[in-house]
Amino acid sequence: MATAIFYASSTGNTEEVVDKIAQKLEISELFNISNNQEDINKISEYDKLILATSTWGDGDLQDDWDEIWDEFKQIDFSNKTVALVALGDQDGYDDTFVNSLGTMYEQVIKQGANVIGFTSTDGYDFEESTALKNDQFVGLVIDEDNQDDLTDERIENWTNQIKNQII
């Protein structure tokens, strides 16, 4: 079965990051739930997924994810391999940095997902995050606000790390 990326983007930053990931991994199945929230129902059609969100306010999910969250919580992720991506602002929200990633991780784990793509916290400067497990982020973390010069390198390293498991 093919791999798909599901994401939501308010400002375009998450969409740009997802486009780069899709290009690196040669994934053509992209679903922007900001444009069509019904696309979330297509998750069940794939056994390998990348889920991407930005973090808003004090660690909240992006609005479109938040709006479909009740439906998302009903999806069976058992027998699915999932990689997670989140964008956040470590300077402005250092005490809730990419908490949306932590929220998404906890939910897909409850629903049986095999989550891959944990990354190091090296090079980030934040106080707290619910997106940490065993001193690693539970997915790819991008800070376009403060470290956009590191985005391409972080995407390259992460896609190389997950490539054999996700495509």
Per-residue pLDDT tens listing for the chain (167 residues):
689 999 999 999 999 999 999 999 999 999 999 999 899 999 999 999 999 999 999 999 999 999 999 999 999 999 999 999 999 999 999 999 999 999 999 999 999 999 999 999 999 999 999 999 999 999 999 999 999 999 999 999 999 999 999 99
> What is the pLDDT, as a whole number, of residue 96?
97
Find the domain containing 50 and state its range: 3-166
CA dihedral 152, 157, 162, 167 (to 10 degrees): 50
User: Cα(50)–Cα(5) distance, rounded to whole angstroms?
Assistant: 5
Q: What pLDDT score was predicted for residue 88?
A: 97
**Predicted TM-score (pTM) of this structure:** 0.97
Element (H, E) at 99: helix 99-110
CA nearest to 86, candidates 66, 103, 63: 103
Give the sign of the dihedral formed by CA 7, CA 31, CA 65, CA 162. Answer: negative
**In this structure, what token pair is assigned to residue 132?**
């940490």
Q: What does the pLDDT read at residue 97?
A: 98
Number of neighbouring beta carbons within 10 Å of residue 29:
16
Q: Report the CATH number at residue 156.
A: 3.40.50.360
Residue written as token pair 């490539």: 163
- Number of domains the chain is built from: 1
